[in-house]
Copies of this chain bind each other. A is one copy, B any other.
Amino acid sequence: MSEPHRGGSRLVALQLDDYGPWTTTPEPRRETDLQALQARLFADVADFFGQRDGYAFAGRFDNMVGVATQEDPAEFERLQERIRNRYPVTLSIGVGTAATPAAALRAAGEELQAAGSAQAADRREVLGHRVADGVTGDPTRVTIAHFDVVDATGSYTDRVAPTQARLRIQEAMTALASYLHTDHEAVTHFVGGDNAIAVCPPLDRTAVDGAVAHVREATGVELQAGVGHGSTAHAAGFDAKHALETCRATGQRVHGPWEVATD
């Protein structure tokens, strides 16, 4: 049985202000320039969270996601300043604290939505923090599950066409993210290669086994997962990466120090 972490989760919704219209004003901008802008801006966001032992995910690029734990929401002003001083666009940030990662990101998104439309010309650099009812204090603990595809190189990259490899992995990652979101209130992102990272409530082994089985059945792709816990996303994720190394070495499908008993 899963209990929420004491203090729950804190996730961050990062949204470029009025970005869609900017990309086509006064004329559609060159696609490779937009791709490069989005990628570099996300890299700066990743650095910002990394600096604080957090995690960041590119998401849709105009809507990114960060994981912070004890971070004071006011600290994100510094990130807004950095983006404003460096790019032709600005950044709104909603911080959410709630019982689960999915609820925290929901709260973060509501904070942005309450301030105005993503495409409102007069909504710029929102910074707000929404705390779900009943949650008090800063989160103290994060659980990360790090998934990858068993023998992705041998089964896909070295064997099939690039498009097929990409689509198979993309289907698996989308199925995984949907399953973990619906059944376990986790927030899961593809992070490149054949890897996905889920920010989870405390998970028992059954939950991860279930996710691996679900993706196998839905898409035929075989995943493995390492799980870790810690006071920051980096600490938890680092343990999860080590646990995944154990899977690779031993052939186990899931590995982790389980904080929640299985029965």
Interface residues of A (CB under 8 A from B): 13, 15, 19-20, 23-24, 28-40, 42-44, 46-51, 54-63, 65, 78, 81-82, 84-88, 102, 105-106, 108-110, 113, 117-119, 152-154, 157-167, 169-171, 174, 177-178, 181, 187, 191-194, 197, 234, 237-238, 241-242, 245
Contact = CB atoms under 8 A, between A and B. Distances in A.
B167 A35 contact: no
Given A24-B241, A51-B51, A181-B163, A56 B39 contact: no
A182 to B, nearest CB: 10
A86 to B, nearest CB: 5
A172 to B, nearest CB: 10
Contact of A60 (B32, B174, B187, B194): B194
A26 B159 CA distance: 27
Contacts of A237: 31
A197 B39 contact: no
A59 B35 CA distance: 12
Contacts of A187: 163
Given A88-B84, A178-B167, A32 B54 contact: yes
Contacts of A117: 153-154, 158
Contacts of A152: 20
Top-8 shortest CB links A-B: A32-B50, A28-B241, A61-B192, A33-B85, A36-B43, A39-B43, A39-B39, A106-B161
B174 A86 contact: no
A162 to B, nearest CB: 5
A87 B75 CA distance: 24
Nearest to A159: B113
A61 B193 contact: yes
Contacts of A19: 193
A181 to B, nearest CB: 6
